[in-house]
Amino acid sequence: MSASKKKMAVLGATGVVGQRLVAALADHPWFELSAVTGSERSAGVSYGQAVKWMLKEKIPENAASMIVQATAPDGIEASVALSALDAPVAMKAERAFRSAGFTVVSNASAHRLDPEVPLIVPEINAGHLELAARQRSRYGGAIVTNPNCSAIGLCLAMAPLRALGVRSLRVTTLQALSGAGYPGVASLDVADNVLPYIAGEEEKLESEPLKVFGDIKSSGVVNARFTVSAQCNRVAVMDGHLLCLSVETERPFSEADCSALFRSYVSPLGGLGLPAAPERPVIFREEADRPQPRLDRDACSGMAVTVGRTRKTPAGDLRFVALVHNTVRGAAGGTLLIAELMRAKRLL
């Protein structure tokens, strides 16, 4: 990779995901933060004043003194934008950036199911980035998306099991508070409680994995043919979404086969030297009581999904538990990895 760093703007830099992106860009070997944007509430003041910083590490000095810009392409000194905008805002704003020639790599759900837009988990469907090149010839720029935070965890956890063939999948999630952004869920709703509803979440989990595991054709992505049934719950955990999965497979298996598939899975991105890519993006834990959010969410700096509790159900399905750090691998780290992959493939 060349010594000159690629300039990056972060759209929605003041939110929960935006600040993770700002932190991740502070010492990045290939990229440098050159602009931060927000809503009218934040535009025109310094990032240090506008943000309610929630990470353990300090705000990077160069970011703290940047003036937050309006979320529009004019005056943004970059050709790549990492977006952490709310979905309704992202719909229009990301298209404006694309028309202005930017490559937008987005966390927002607005364009994920758009047939022109790739929905990428780098270890699974890097080939779908071809859609970005097609957009560029049509619009001048491109939008690339990463899946919903739970959907990323689900897809990565399923990647080692592809050899078994998936017919259907049932998933129940226990999702962390940070998944709702800031200020998120009212404390009086969630303290001493579990909320059995997260608006729009079950629909995302039931649709996005089919696109990720789909095949790229000249007409676009043809969805994978398995079905996903999801039930999503909000729990009083800060970070880390837990997923309890039950998978009906096409081929017979033993519990030992599944554990071996998880244990032997290594990243197919190995040769590319991507700074954020873990060598083992799926970590298998043998203990009966793992994974747990507090203990496992930071595995490989939050970039690996941890799985465990593999069992065969009385119906012959595979049951297991997966954990994903929702704001890192499920959001900021996921978009950063896509950007690194695009840079390595000379698409940025």
Select the residue whose beta carbon is closest to ligand NAP and give its number. 15
With binding defined as CB under 6 A, does residue 207 bind ligand NAP? no
In this complex, which beta carbon is closest to ligand NAP, that of residue 68 or of residue 344?
68
In this complex, which beta carbon is closest to ligand NAP, that of residue 94 or of residue 340?
94
Least distance to ligand NAP, CB of residue 317, Å: 28
| Of the candidate residues 308, 327, 329, 339, the single one contacting ligand NAP (CB under 6 A) | 327
C-alpha distances in Å from residue 159, one per residue of 38, 155, 207, 212, 242: 35, 6, 17, 11, 17
Least distance to ligand NAP, CB of residue 19, Å: 8
Q: What part of residues 116-155 is at the interface with ligand NAP (CB under 6 A)?
A: 149
Least distance to ligand NAP, CB of residue 149, Å: 4
Least distance to ligand NAP, CB of residue 205, Å: 12
| Of the candidate residues 237, 274, 305, 331, the single one contacting ligand NAP (CB under 6 A) | 331
DSSP string, 45-67: SBHHHH----SSSPPPHHHHTSB
Range list of β-strands (E), the chain: 6-11, 31-38, 69-70, 80-83, 103-106, 142-145, 166-175, 215-217, 220-222, 227-234, 241-249, 282-284, 305-312, 318-324
Stretch that binds ligand NAP, among 115-123, 201-209, 284-292, 323-331 (CB under 6 A): 323-331
With binding defined as CB under 6 A, does residue 85 bind ligand NAP? yes
| Of the candidate residues 8, 9, 17, 157, the single one contacting ligand NAP (CB under 6 A) | 17
With binding defined as CB under 6 A, does residue 86 bind ligand NAP? yes
With binding defined as CB under 6 A, does residue 89 bind ligand NAP? yes
Q: What share of the chain is helix, strand, coil (3-state, %, to 5)?
A: 35, 25, 40
With binding defined as CB under 6 A, does residue 14 bind ligand NAP? yes
Closest to 334 (Cα-Cα) out of 83, 9, 11: 83
In this complex, which beta carbon is closest to ligand NAP, that of residue 22 or of residue 247?
22
Bond preceding residue 183 cis, omega within 30 of 0 = yes
To the query of whether residue 155 is one of the catalytic residues in this protein, the response is: no
Burial pattern 19-39, b for ≥16 Cβ within 10 A else e, equals bbbbbbbeebebbbbbbbbbb
Which phi and psi angles does 156 have, rounded to 5°?
Answer: -65, -40
Stretch that binds ligand NAP, among 104-112, 127-135, 136-144, 290-298 (CB under 6 A): 104-112
Rounded distance between C-alpha atoms, residue 295 and residue 331, angstroms: 19
| Of the candidate residues 209, 278, 281, 330, the single one contacting ligand NAP (CB under 6 A) | 330
Stretch that binds ligand NAP, among 74-82, 86-94, 247-255, 286-294 (CB under 6 A): 86-94
Choice among 111, 149, 155, 300 that is catalytic: 149
Rounded distance between C-alpha atoms, residue 320 and residue 309, angstroms: 5
To the query of whether residue 111 is one of the catalytic residues in this protein, the response is: no
Q: Beta 103-106 vs 31-38: how paired, if at all?
A: unpaired
With binding defined as CB under 6 A, does residue 84 bind ligand NAP? yes
With binding defined as CB under 6 A, does residue 42 bind ligand NAP? yes
Which phi and psi angles does 244 have, rounded to 5°?
Answer: -100, 115
Rounded distance between C-alpha atoms, residue 217 and residue 285, angstroms: 37
Rounded distance between C-alpha atoms, residue 197 and residue 274, angstroms: 37
For the record, the structure tokens of 105 come out as 């790599």
Question: For 228, left (φ over 0), alpha (ψ -120 to 50), or beta?
Answer: beta
Choice among 155, 241, 258, 300 that is catalytic: 241
Site size for ligand NAP (CB under 6 A): 29
In this complex, which beta carbon is closest to ligand NAP, that of residue 76 or of residue 149?
149
Binding site for ligand NAP (CB under 6 A): 12-18, 38-39, 41-42, 71, 84-87, 89, 107-109, 149, 178-179, 181-182, 326-327, 330-331
Enzyme catalytic residues? 149, 241
